[in-house]
Amino acid sequence: MNLTMAKALNEGMRRAMAEDKSVLVMGEEVGQLGGVFRITEGLMSEFGPARVFDTPLAESGIVGTAIGLAMRGYRPICEIQFDGFVYPAFDQITTQLAKLTYRHEGSIQMPVVIRIPYGGHIGAVEHHQESPEAYFAHTAGLRIVSPATPHDAYWMIQEVAQQPDPVIFLEPKSRYWQKGEVNTDDPGPALHQAVVVKPGSDLTLIGHGAIVSMLLQVAEVAEQEGTSIEVVDLRSLAPIDWDVVVNSVQSTGRAVVVQEAPGNVSVGSEITATLAERCFYSLEAPVIRVSGFDIPFPPAQFEAAHLPSVDRILDAVDRALAY
């Protein structure tokens, strides 16, 4: 099928709910409205208000309720309307949800999925265009994934619904309306497996979520200039599939890590440090980072200057190749 990412997520949740009656969907306006981005549209009418239900506007309460439901054997999928709205639930996520299984020596499982639309490029206002992945990647006990294509969105939302651990499911909202082929018979790579989406020999570009499409654009431009670029889609940020990433960089000898989030103490920082450790004797140049600037997300009219662009990434590629 050729679906938008939004529709792929919708169909993926529908299939997960049909196959497992313990899967619930909850959040602000996820019921009759179908969510602010209409990702849950039609699910309440199909599965009923006992399995798809609206919550008060209280993110801490949403996650706290989900924790209680998980203790009673349910598999709640929570929707946070926008990335910047997740912080009221930060305490519940990092001090309770992430730790309860360990606190009880494995006797309690926390199969809770927290869906967060994240990232920029939609011209929104404050608290609606953020990239909070580093906060959660730093927290032991959480799995973190982010699909870059409708196919991955369709399958990954089903896979996380069956995990025994809590999952932060980051949805690149600027790609909600991007169409792509979805194979409903073949899930493809495993949930936490990184993928080489374009092979190359001169340099590796590494990214996740919405940035992957931009990396493919960069690779196409670089090819016209005679540079062979390999593109790696991380897909998972906790855990990171280091085998795929390291093998790629050892093969090309150069790497540029790209993210929308600010660069300071970020996922990109961790990847850069690990590559410096594990690929030291293969590197022909320093690993270079391209990220959002270390400022609060700016007003919409300045987001294009703040976020990585094809030109900024190409500049980093040129610097890496100059060594």
pLDDT in tens, 239-282: 999 999 999 999 999 999 999 999 999 999 999 999 999 999 99
How far, in Å, CA of 39 to CA of 113, rounded?
A: 15
pLDDT at 17 over 90: yes
Confidence of residue 319 (pLDDT cuts 50, 70, 90): very high
| Structure confidence at residue 126 (pLDDT) | 86
Confidence of residue 125 (pLDDT cuts 50, 70, 90): confident
pTM, entire model: 0.97
Beta bridge partners of 318: none
DSSP for 171-210, please give it: EEGGGTT-EEE--SS---S-TT--EEEE--SSEEEEE-TT
Cβ-in-10-Å burial (0-12, 13-18, 19+) of 183 comes to exposed
Residue range 88-111, pLDDT digits in tens: 999 999 999 999 999 999 999 999
Residue % of the chain over a pLDDT of 70: 100
Which residues belong to the active site?
128
pLDDT at 161 over 90: yes
Question: Torsion over CA of 116, 122, 123 and 126, rounded to 10 degrees?
Answer: 0
Q: Which domains does the chain have, with CATH numbers?
A: 2-181 (3.40.50.970), 195-321 (3.40.50.920)
How far, in Å, CA of 42 to CA of 155, rounded?
A: 19
| Structure confidence at residue 131 (pLDDT) | 97
Mean pLDDT, the chain, whole residue set: 97
Q: What is the mean pLDDT of residues 311-321?
A: 98
Confidence of residue 293 (pLDDT cuts 50, 70, 90): very high
Confidence of residue 189 (pLDDT cuts 50, 70, 90): very high
Handedness of CA 36, 40, 44, 49 (dihedral sign): negative
8 A C-beta contact, residue 63 and residue 81: no
Residues 6+ apart with CB under 8 A from 252: 200, 201, 202, 203, 204, 230
First to last CA, the chain: 45
Confidence of residue 29 (pLDDT cuts 50, 70, 90): very high
Looking up tokens 């940020």 gives 237
Distances (CA, A) of 108 to 25, 70, 153, 161, 175: 21, 9, 28, 17, 35
8 A C-beta contact, residue 77 and residue 25: yes
| Structure confidence at residue 70 (pLDDT) | 98
Which one-letter amino acid corresponds to residue 314? L
How far, in Å, CA of 274 to CA of 300, rounded?
A: 34
How far, in Å, CA of 274 to CA of 250, rounded?
A: 12
Handedness of CA 211, 115, 182, 194 (dihedral sign): positive
| Structure confidence at residue 256 (pLDDT) | 98
Q: What is the mean pLDDT of residues 57-81?
A: 98
How far, in Å, CA of 175 to CA of 269, rounded?
A: 24
How far, in Å, CA of 5 to CA of 212, rounded?
A: 14
